[in-house]
Amino acid sequence: MMNFSEEIIERLRGLVITYEKSDSAEDRKKARRKMQKLDFRMTDFNIRNITSSDFNKLISSGKIKILSNIPTSKINSTTKQKFQEVSTSVFNLLAVEYSTINRDFINELNFYGLYSLRLKEKCLLPKPFQQFLSEREHQIIYVGKAQGQTLKERLNQELFAKGHGTFFRSIGAVLGYLPEAGSLHGKSNQNNYKFIKEDQKKIIFWIENNLEIAVFKTSNFEEEKHLICKLKPLLNDSHNPLALAELRMAKDKCRITARNT
């Protein structure tokens, strides 16, 4: 039997999902290494390629035990001033403090939680998305979670194109960028399109100058769905009652471009 804190269990669960869903041998190798750093090895349980079902069975069978009230790692004082630690299900994203987006801040976020992205005052999205945002009566455009990877890891994907980021692909499509034609041709995953390096730089520049962020240290990851249902952020597709057909069309255009030669 192996013992893990609730926080480590959630991180492992996310890594298992990443491992299970990835079509990239390199990404699966990275996920496996991260599991090993958390003292979890598939071979200890005679598992070669773990799935979410396998992981849940390890817990339900008692082979993995979840320990409660294990203190999490300390956060340095600089970061502490810039994030909100939330222990309840009450998140008021319209009233919390938002920060400018920069790499130094993001690289301090060595913990798990939720994040919210909103458009700065006097900044605009391209048409027709700005009109849709005005109808929402707030500037929040995306709510996400870092489960199974730290906010630092997740936000480097989503804001700085360090891997496959759902938000980065969405905002790139909204801004009118397209991936290289045929760049997904022959690949097993036909959805994770990437923009060319020069366009990535332009998207990152736009993000840094037009958006701001609020982050929350929490293990209440289910709250992400509730926030999306309540606030209906413009660029959230899943769990959003007002998901935009225009967003899906923009992303579909990117996928079609990347799939075709």
| DSSP codes, 16-55 | HHHHHH---HHHHHHHHHHHHHTT--GGGGT-SS--HHHH
Residue 44 scores a pLDDT above 90: no
Q: Does 153 lie in the same domain as 44? A: no
Domain end point (choices 46, 67, 88): 67
Whether residues 85 and 35 share a domain: the answer is no
The answer to whether position 247 is within a domain reads: yes
Q: Please name every residue paired with 212 in a beta bridge, in sequence order, or none if there are none.
A: 100, 118
**pLDDT confidence of residue 166:** 92
* Range with the poorest average pLDDT among 26-35, 64-73, 159-168, 245-254: 64-73
β-strand partners of 143: 116
Asked if residue 178 has pLDDT above 90, the reply is yes
From 7, 39, 40, 4, select the one nearest 218 (Cα to Cα).
7
Give me the pLDDT at residue 213, please.
95
The model's pLDDT over 137-146, given as tens digits with 9 standing for 90+, comes to 899 999 999 9
Global pTM exceeds 0.75? no
Contact (CB, 8 A) for 214 and 93: yes
pLDDT at 73 over 60: no
- Highest mean pLDDT, choosing among 174-183, 196-205, 222-231: 196-205
Reply yes or no on whether the pLDDT at 69 is more than 80: no
In terms of domains, do 109 and 210 share one? yes
- Give residue 83's pLDDT band: very low, low, confident or very high (50, 70, 90): low
| Residue-wise burial string across 144-171, b where 16 or more C-beta atoms lie within 10 A, e elsewhere | bbbbbbbbbbbbbbbbbbebbbbbbbbb
Give yes or no for a contact between 9 and 51, defined as CB atoms under 8 angstroms apart.
Answer: no
In a domain, 167, yes or no: yes
Section 81-110 average pLDDT: 72
Mean pLDDT of 220-235: 91
Domain co-membership, 109 together with 22: no
Tokens of 131: 């009109």
Domain contains 57: yes
What is the per-residue pLDDT for 62? Answer: 87
* Residue 50 counted as domain residue: yes
Q: Which of 164-178, 182-196, 215-229 is the least confident region?
A: 182-196
Q: How far apart are CA 238 and CA 235, in angstroms?
A: 9
Q: Which domain holds residue 191?
A: 77-259
Do 97 and 146 fall within a single domain? yes
Domain count for the chain: 2
Residue 190 has pLDDT above 80, yes or no: no
Cα dihedral 108→112→114→119 (10° resolution): 20
Whether 76 shows a pLDDT value over 50: the answer reads no
Domain boundary at 15, 42, 67, which?
67
Asked if the structure places residue 72 within a domain, the reply is no
Whether residue 63 is found in the same domain as residue 82: no
Is residue 207, in this structure, part of any structural domain at all? yes
- pLDDT value at residue 77: 35
H/E element, 224: helix 223-231
- In this structure, the answer to whether residues 226 and 131 fall within a common structural domain is yes
Give the torsion sign (CA, 240, 242, 244, 245).
Answer: positive
Do residues 49 and 90 share a domain?
Answer: no
Query: Do 37 and 165 share a structural domain?
Result: no
Q: Are residues 124 and 212 in the same domain?
A: yes
Q: What is the pLDDT of residue 165?
A: 87
**pLDDT tier at 78, thresholds 50, 70, 90:** very low
User: Of the candidates 49, 67, 85, which is a domain's last residue?
Assistant: 67
Question: What mean pLDDT is predicted for residues 218-239?
Answer: 91
Under the banding of pLDDT at 50, 70 and 90, the label for residue 261 is low
In the predicted structure, residue 148 carries a pLDDT above the cut 90: no
pLDDT band at 96, cuts 50/70/90? Answer: confident
- 28 and 155 belong to one structural domain: no
Statement to judge: residues 24 and 118 lie in one domain: no
d(CA 187, CA 24): 9
Residue with tokens 């190798």: 29
